Chain A
């Protein structure tokens, strides 16, 4: 009954209630999306790479190397000698080594040159290995394995022939239309940049970089695989036999005389990223909390302003036997109805927006956001919002309580 009373009372003050509601929806959306994106960005970045002990590349910033080699973002780093890969692979501390060669694209998707080690040892999320939804790893030079998003968006399936170009844009000027690749496998979705990657062998990267006058047919026929041995790679991911050797090997790599190398620990580099982001994160949080507080004050003001015109209503409720605490709860319920509806609306809005923008966010920022907001941290935010709105609307509720205490029959 109280619920329906509160609901009807809100309905009777439609205009101010709707404005207050919209202001709540906006502020709650801001707060929720900041929280959600913050959490999801962290999770999405952290899950992208797992179980890799060291990443070796040309000296640049450790962040730059991490972003470019793992997230395929940021500016390209210099390449390192293929010889260094061989040396590292044979290092006694190293259990496995994955070579990575970047720099090409296919319809806007990055092309990654690597070898079979990638499909055995690359892990994401909680040490999850890559799995195939169709097909198998590439066996020969002109075969490719594509990520789930590539398959979905370009509508490719195993056996299709595709063209891979030099350059990273979606409209590359140096298309090598005569280098047809056959798709040998499609990976299951991972929610990481792998989904948006075309994987080929290192030899294939060499092949598409051959002089354009070299027709691929000739390559296929005349060039033995040995002649396509690459002379450089972009980066190497290393898995060590023992975690204790990480720092020793890192020092060794950094002091290498034959090639200019740098080794980074992915976890440490990610940490540096979060530290950089931390300040911005907190700033965004503070701003969104301030916005929320201001719109809760708006709610409280709206309720307070309505008290004047509700003296009669309160007097009526009093003589019907409603105690002052009922009047108090009535005002509180009105506030809570608005806040809870605003939370639901904001959640729906954000889910839909993320759902619509997820591809763009993934392509542009390497962010894989889940449209599902209902996680522990976000639910904690809900609880905080509800508590904050109870606190701020306690003021008008107390006002109503007081006027209920003193309301008499002469009220008019």
Chain B
């Protein structure tokens, strides 16, 4: 491996190559991505209409789904071809995920939720509580929220706790799927500002998926999903 490729690999957070995903419902037109590269530290706004394959792509990046063909590399590791167990571990250590909603386990306290994320990773921090308090402060959450059950706080607060939870292991990559869909406009903007700022600070690569064009303004780079994806038929000919 010459020094050029090494540098490229080191710089690259996500590398998707010739990835084909066949839908389970028997839809012949699978999703195909010839190549997509995201550099480390980039903040990407991935935009597309409902049903355009955004969430599928995010599932592939999180390793919850695996491609039928091709390879996804994350942080230079052949992520998609790792053994299921290794991939789970890798996700726990290097990838944070925030969903639309229901990010937290409702019957656990906020702190327990955050500790749980650390439990499955190999970092095993011994100061999770301190770190969590720091993050909650940055996310403008009151410190006493730590000991409340997750289902006792508002959805906006839950989403911010989800960010803290996703970042607790200091992951290199943060995948976020429509986290603001349950929030009102004011809360949305505040949420976005905090999210991008925290990622900036930590140098975390951020892939943010949404159909809401209004949020594009928070990102330097924006990608339209249709630019990435072509249907299987087009490709195999």
Bound-state Cα–Cα, A322 to B104, Å: 14
Bound-state Cα–Cα, A5 to B116, Å: 9
A12-B106, A316-B104, A321-B120 in contact; A409/B59 too (CB < 8 A)?
yes
- Determine whether B85 belongs to the interface, using a CB cutoff of 8 Å to chain A: yes
Bound-state Cα–Cα, A182 to B200, Å: 99
Chain A residues positioned under 8 Å from B223 (CB to CB): none
Pick the contact of A12 from B97, B99, B107 — CB < 8 Å?
B107
User: Are the C-beta atoms of A8 and B107 separated by less than 8 Å?
Assistant: yes
- Determine whether B12 belongs to the interface, using a CB cutoff of 8 Å to chain A: no
Q: Binary interface profile of B, 45-78, with partner A (CB < 8 Å = 1, else 0)?
A: 0000000000100110010110000000000000
* Whole-angstrom distance between the Cβ of B176 and the nearest chain A Cβ: 10
Give the contact stretch, choosing among B33-41, B87-95, B130-138, B228-236: B87-95
Interface residues of A in 1-32 (CB under 8 A from B): 1, 4-5, 8-9, 11-12
Bound-state Cα–Cα, A11 to B105, Å: 13
Query: Which residue of the partner chain B has the closest CB to A405?
Result: B84
User: Are the C-beta atoms of A312 and B102 separated by less than 8 Å?
Assistant: yes
In the complex, which range does the number of interface residues on chain A fall in? Answer: 20 to 34
User: Are the C-beta atoms of A322 and B102 separated by less than 8 Å?
Assistant: no
A1-B115, A319-B62, A323-B84 in contact; A412/B101 too (CB < 8 A)?
yes
* Whole-angstrom distance between the Cβ of B108 and the nearest chain A Cβ: 6
A5-B108, A8-B108 in contact; A408/B116 too (CB < 8 A)?
no
- Determine whether B121 belongs to the interface, using a CB cutoff of 8 Å to chain A: yes
* Whole-angstrom distance between the Cβ of B148 and the nearest chain A Cβ: 14
Pick the contact of B64 from A4, A11, A318, A326 — CB < 8 Å?
A318
User: Are the C-beta atoms of B102 and A1 separated by less than 8 Å?
Assistant: no
User: Are the C-beta atoms of B55 and A409 separated by less than 8 Å?
Assistant: yes
* Whole-angstrom distance between the Cβ of A409 and the nearest chain B Cβ: 5
Interface residues of A in 311-331 (CB under 8 A from B): 312-313, 315-324, 326
Number of B residues with CB within 8 Å of any CB on chain A: 32
- Determine whether B119 belongs to the interface, using a CB cutoff of 8 Å to chain A: yes
User: Are the C-beta atoms of A322 and B99 separated by less than 8 Å?
Assistant: no
- Determine whether A308 belongs to the interface, using a CB cutoff of 8 Å to chain B: no
User: Are the C-beta atoms of B85 and A323 separated by less than 8 Å?
Assistant: yes
User: Are the C-beta atoms of B64 and A407 separated by less than 8 Å?
Assistant: yes
Bound-state Cα–Cα, A47 to B177, Å: 73
- Determine whether A410 belongs to the interface, using a CB cutoff of 8 Å to chain B: yes
Q: Binary interface profile of A, 323-360, with partner B (CB < 8 Å = 1, else 0)?
A: 11010000000000000000000000000000000000
Chain B residues positioned under 8 Å from A313 (CB to CB): 105-106
* Whole-angstrom distance between the Cβ of B36 and the nearest chain A Cβ: 18
Bound-state Cα–Cα, A409 to B207, Å: 14
A11-B107, A409-B59 in contact; A321/B93 too (CB < 8 A)?
yes
Bound-state Cα–Cα, A65 to B19, Å: 89
* Whole-angstrom distance between the Cβ of A41 and the nearest chain B Cβ: 46
Pick the contact of A8 from B91, B112, B117 — CB < 8 Å?
B112
Q: Binary interface profile of A, 380-412, with partner B (CB < 8 Å = 1, else 0)?
A: 000000000000000000000000000111111
Interface residues of A in 354-369 (CB under 8 A from B): none
Bound-state Cα–Cα, A12 to B112, Å: 14
The 3 closest A-B pairs by CB, nearest first: A321-B92, A12-B107, A321-B120
What residues make up the interface of A, taking CB atoms closer than 8 Å to B? 1, 4-5, 8-9, 11-12, 312-313, 315-324, 326, 407-412
